[in-house]
Homo-oligomer: A and B are copies of this chain.
């Protein structure tokens, strides 16, 4: 592939100086026009040592309005980063909509280096690359303008470049060590580019021998991409709803039986059974949560369910068994404006627990394929691709050793009605019942279908859904405790 990069491109200082003022003012104007826009610009800069990445990033900062640009390098990770899934440090660096993020070093760095040094096999490398492709597709589908640049030097040119830098005292031992691995780097990089080069997130290979040429070319590509995007916006919502047809072709599902119908809602516990069981399971959980803490294992659990299904009280029975220093409950309501400026998963990434701790989500990322789907807050294209995004997200948590528990609290419509009526009459429960609850109830069937799809598509081996038989609250609570305990025991 790199052989195909045309060589010998230069731009004379005169031509550069003559063309630069217009490029700069165009870039600045494009940057100002970006401000009000609902998409971020993500620029990935990669390339061989000595190819001028640092200078290029410097130049971009100079040409753009530096107040709207964030440059992120990913040097040694902090302990807070190491305790989270790999991509956490990238998520926390993501620019909000209307801003530009320059990634100097990125999600490509580690996989390539590990492959070059033989620490991963080819198949592991491919898996890492597929994850990158999925990650980038997700960002672009959400509206991000993603630009990837690879500064290319031939072996000979790199050697010359490093020699020049060495004279100026700007090389490190790593540079020469990497140079000796030039061919391996080339091979790994070519593979990485081939596997992650898509129409949505294309690579730009830039011949890097001549500073004027490479900087001007990158500036020009950036400018044109922003301008094109500003003309075409909003692109995010017009993305092809590829799953829409697929979903529509399953009318049987809509009318027929769903996974929820197979939940045995008659299961119940007597008061005595409940008292004994609850105490026993809570004691067990208390010990396990400390054991997990001591082993630096984390846990994420989430609760979804029908209105009045008893999420709040079920969560209480879980937290009663845990030291408050070890868990945090995150209630998911309307996003803050900082959250709205990001991909919908961002608000969940930011809440992931440190090693040894627990985060409990009261409602969760599944809102995307439940309320947002049913109410039409997200387009069909958007929510239908979320299943895959969510599976990928949960897979990453699992790889970091985070134990995931997902509960859908199920009750029958009759039981819900009974509880709604009860709430109206009991003073201290009245705050719990709103008009919205009655409105949601009318959409029972839509939710039924949505829950079915969610469970079918996102019940993975590593993060299965648990459907909780909730008509009897006592049974439900004990079922939840037992499930958490089982998964924790299996993990420890």
Contact among B73, B78, B320, B329 with A79 in the assembled complex (CB-CB below 8 Å): B78
Pair B71/A325 contact, Cβ less than 8 Å:
yes
How far, in angstroms, from A431 to B312 measured CA to CA in the complex?
51
Pair A73/B325 contact, Cβ less than 8 Å:
yes
Contact among B67, B78, B320, B329 with A67 in the assembled complex (CB-CB below 8 Å): B329
How far, in angstroms, from A357 to B69 measured CA to CA in the complex?
16
Q: In the complex, which residue of chain B has the Cβ closest to the Cβ of A74? A: B325
Contact among B61, B66, B80, B331 with A80 in the assembled complex (CB-CB below 8 Å): B80
Known contacts A66-B315, A79-B78, A338-B338; is A61 also within 8 Å of B324 by CB?
Answer: yes
Does A138 touch B at the CB level, under 8 Å? no
Pair A58/B102 contact, Cβ less than 8 Å:
no
Which of A58, A62, A69, A325 has the most chain B CB atoms inside 10 A of its CB?
Answer: A325
Does A149 touch B at the CB level, under 8 Å? no
Q: In the complex, which residue of chain B has the Cβ closest to the Cβ of A319? A: B66
Does A413 touch B at the CB level, under 8 Å? no
Q: Shortest CB–CB separation between residue A73 and chain B, in angstroms?
A: 4
Enumerate chain B residues within 8 angstroms of A428, measured Cβ to Cβ: 25, 28-29
Pair A325/B104 contact, Cβ less than 8 Å:
yes
Q: In the complex, which residue of chain B has the Cβ closest to the Cβ of A315? A: B66
Enumerate chain B residues within 8 angstroms of A431, measured Cβ to Cβ: 32
Known contacts A29-B428, A79-B78; is A324 also within 8 Å of B71 by CB?
Answer: yes
Enumerate chain B residues within 8 angstroms of A32, measured Cβ to Cβ: 431
Known contacts A336-B338, A362-B67; is A324 also within 8 Å of B79 by CB?
Answer: no
Pair A66/B104 contact, Cβ less than 8 Å:
no
Which of A25, A62, A324, A354 has the most chain B CB atoms inside 10 A of its CB?
Answer: A324
Pair A316/B66 contact, Cβ less than 8 Å:
yes
Pair A58/B324 contact, Cβ less than 8 Å:
yes
Does A191 touch B at the CB level, under 8 Å? no
Cβ proximity bits A89-129 to B, threshold 8 Å, 1 near / 0 not: 00000000000001010000000000000000000000000
Enumerate chain B residues within 8 angstroms of A28, measured Cβ to Cβ: 428
Does A210 touch B at the CB level, under 8 Å? no
How far, in angstroms, from A65 to B432 measured CA to CA in the complex?
13
Enumerate chain B residues within 8 angstroms of A67, measured Cβ to Cβ: 312, 315, 329, 331, 362
How far, in angstroms, from A106 to B330 measured CA to CA in the complex?
22
How far, in angstroms, from A337 to B102 measured CA to CA in the complex?
26
How far, in angstroms, from A362 to B68 measured CA to CA in the complex?
11
Which residues of chain A from 419 to 467 have a CB within 8 Å of any chain B CB? Answer: 428, 431
Which of A70, A79, A431 has the most chain B CB atoms inside 10 A of its CB?
Answer: A79
Enumerate chain B residues within 8 angstroms of A25, measured Cβ to Cβ: 428
Which residues of chain A from 123 to 164 have a CB within 8 Å of any chain B CB? Answer: none
How far, in angstroms, from A70 to B319 measured CA to CA in the complex?
12
Q: Shortest CB–CB separation between residue A423 and chain B, in angstroms?
A: 14
How far, in angstroms, from A29 to B428 measured CA to CA in the complex?
8
Q: Shortest CB–CB separation between residue A293 and chain B, in angstroms?
A: 10
Enumerate chain B residues within 8 angstroms of A276, measured Cβ to Cβ: none
Cβ proximity bits A40-83 to B, threshold 8 Å, 1 near / 0 not: 00000000000000100110011001111111110000111000
How far, in angstroms, from A73 to B25 measured CA to CA in the complex?
51
Enumerate chain B residues within 8 angstroms of A80, measured Cβ to Cβ: 78-80
Known contacts A62-B316, A331-B67, A428-B25; is A102 also within 8 Å of B336 by CB?
Answer: no
Enumerate chain B residues within 8 angstroms of A65, measured Cβ to Cβ: 312
Does A323 touch B at the CB level, under 8 Å? yes
Does A328 touch B at the CB level, under 8 Å? yes
Which of A57, A65, A66 has the most chain B CB atoms inside 10 A of its CB?
Answer: A66
How far, in angstroms, from A102 to B327 measured CA to CA in the complex?
13
How far, in angstroms, from A67 to B332 measured CA to CA in the complex?
10
Pair A329/B66 contact, Cβ less than 8 Å:
yes
Enumerate chain B residues within 8 angstroms of A71, measured Cβ to Cβ: 324-325, 328
How far, in angstroms, from A70 to B428 measured CA to CA in the complex?
23
Which residues of chain A from 281 to 325 have a CB within 8 Å of any chain B CB? Answer: 312, 315-316, 319-320, 323-325
Nearest 9 A/B pairs, CB to CB: A71-B324, A73-B325, A67-B331, A61-B324, A78-B80, A336-B338, A337-B337, A67-B329, A80-B80
Q: Please, could you name 20 A-B residue pairs with CB atoms under 8 Å apart, sorted by A?
A: A28-B428, A54-B323, A54-B325, A57-B324, A58-B324, A61-B324, A66-B315, A66-B316, A67-B329, A71-B324, A71-B328, A72-B325, A73-B325, A78-B78, A78-B79, A79-B79, A79-B80, A102-B324, A104-B325, A336-B338
Q: 14 extra interchain contacts, Cβ-Cβ under 8 A, other than A54-B323, A66-B319, A336-B338? A: A25-B428, A32-B431, A58-B323, A62-B319, A62-B320, A67-B312, A67-B329, A71-B325, A71-B328, A73-B325, A78-B79, A79-B79, A80-B80, A336-B337
